[in-house]
Structures are given as structure tokens and as C-alpha cells.
Amino acid sequence: MKFLFINGVNLNMTGRREKGVYGTRTLDQINKDIAARFNGDECVFYQSNIEGEICSRLHAAADEGFDGIILNAGAFTHYSYAIRDAISSIDTPVIEVHMSNVHARDEFRHMSVISAVCKGVIAGFGEGSYILAAESFKL
């Protein structure tokens, strides 16, 4: 299978910010573990702090033959109608992921504007959220 993992705003700071929430491992370390776990599959990783770049990556992915997209949009989850519309404009299924349990955090994090246009949502399993999302495409 061919997977695209997209990480949004501030996730490049994973391992350095809010270690009690996101852990001490960097996004690069997490990505390497994911790639090793799905050794027989193609895993492509992308991170941007810029909303429009994430939209453009989603658009491009539609023509690149991905079986699934795993998206951790970070804070964009809660207000980016642009990312929501980008997801709606492609046929490739997208799973929304969060490393933390967003429902156990600040109230503003309880609302996702992208969930309704995603195939599913996985939250609260740390790095495992990405793995669970990719595994779900194999069911």
C-alpha cells in the first residue's frame, strides 16, 4: 500500500514542546518508526506550518496513487475550512489523527471541522495513532 502522512502546524516541534502531551521523540524519529513498521509499504511524510501548503499537498496527492492519507492537522483541525474543503475535493480517503486525546484537553480542541469529511478519527494513542490509522486501511 501507499500512504501519505501529513503533519500540520507545530508538529515539527514534537519532542521539544509540551513533552507531557506529545512525548520526547521528534517527528523525524516517529516517522522513521512508522516507515520501519510498514516496511513493505510506501510511506511518504510531509509536514508544513502553512495551511495553504497542506491544501496543495492534499490536492497533489489525489493524482499520486495513494491508498490513504493520514492527517494530523494540529490546531488547523479546529478552524481550517480550507483544509476541510481540500479533503472534500479529493477521492483519496483521509483519516484524521491526533497523538493526544483532544477531548481530555482544552474545550476548543473538542471541535474538529475536518472530521465530517474524513473516513475516521483516531486520537489519544500517541505515536500509535498514526500506526492505527495506517493499519485501518488494510482492514
Q: Are strands 68-72 and 94-98 parallel, antiparallel or unpaired?
A: parallel
Choosing from 46, 98, 103, 110, the catalytic residue is 98
Does the annotation mark 22 as catalytic? yes
Q: Return the half-sphere exposure (C-beta side, CA atoms, 13 A cut-off) of residue 81.
A: 0
Q: What is the reported pTM?
A: 0.95
Choosing from 22, 46, 59, 130, the catalytic residue is 22
CATH topology assigned to domain 7-108+122-136:
Rossmann fold (3.40.50)
Q: Which residue do the cell numbers 501548503 mark? A: 53
Report pLDDT for 103.
Answer: 84
Does the annotation mark 46 as catalytic? no
Report pLDDT for 114.
Answer: 98
pLDDT tens per residue across all 139 residues of the chain: 999 999 999 999 999 987 877 778 999 999 999 999 999 999 999 999 999 999 999 999 999 999 999 999 999 999 999 999 999 999 999 999 999 888 877 787 779 999 999 999 999 999 999 999 999 999 9
Taking CA atoms, 137 is separated from 2, 89, 93, in Å, by 10, 20, 9
Q: Which residue do the cell numbers 501519505 mark? A: 4
